[in-house]
Amino acid sequence: MIELPNTSGLIHLIGDTISGRRIVKVIAAQTPNRFVWYYDDPQKYHELLVGKTIDKFSSFRGIVRIKAGTINLVFSDGIELKLHDKNEKCPDNHQLLIELDGSLLLSASVQIYGALWCFREGEFINPYFGDYSPIL
Q: Which residues pair with 108 in a beta bridge?
A: 81, 96
Please report whether residue 90 resides in a domain.
yes
Please report whether residue 46 resides in a domain.
yes
d(CA 134, CA 99): 28
The total number of structural domains in the chain stands at 1
* Higher per-residue confidence, 130 vs 83: 83
Q: Report whether pLDDT(10) > 70.
A: no
pLDDT of residue 78: 83
Please report whether residue 96 resides in a domain.
yes
The pTM for the full model equals 0.85
- The CA radius of gyration of the chain, in Å to the nearest whole number, is 13
* Higher per-residue confidence, 102 vs 42: 42
Please report whether residue 132 resides in a domain.
no
In the three-class reduction of DSSP (H, G, I as helix; E, B as strand; rest coil), residue 9 is classed as: helix
Please report whether residue 34 resides in a domain.
yes
pLDDT per residue as tens digits for the range 13-33:
677 788 899 999 999 998 888
How far is CA 110 from each of CA 2, 33, 70, 131, rounded to the nearest angstrom? 10, 8, 25, 23
Q: The CATH number of the domain where 99 resides is what?
A: 3.20.190.10
Cβ-count burial 72-102 (b if 16+ within 10 Å, e if not): bbbbbbbbbbeebeeeeebeeebbbbbbbee
Tell me the residue range of the domain where 114 lies. Answer: 6-119
Q: Where are the beta strands (DSSP E) in 4-100?
A: 23-28, 36-38, 56-60, 63-68, 71-75, 79-85, 96-100
* Higher per-residue confidence, 126 vs 121: 121
Query: Do 74 and 81 touch, CB atoms closer than 8 A?
Result: no
Query: Do 99 and 25 touch, CB atoms closer than 8 A?
Result: yes
Please report whether residue 129 resides in a domain.
no
Please report whether residue 133 resides in a domain.
no
Please report whether residue 81 resides in a domain.
yes
pLDDT of residue 8: 53
pLDDT per residue as tens digits for the range 44-99:
999 999 999 999 888 777 788 899 999 999 988 788 888 898 888 878 889 999 99
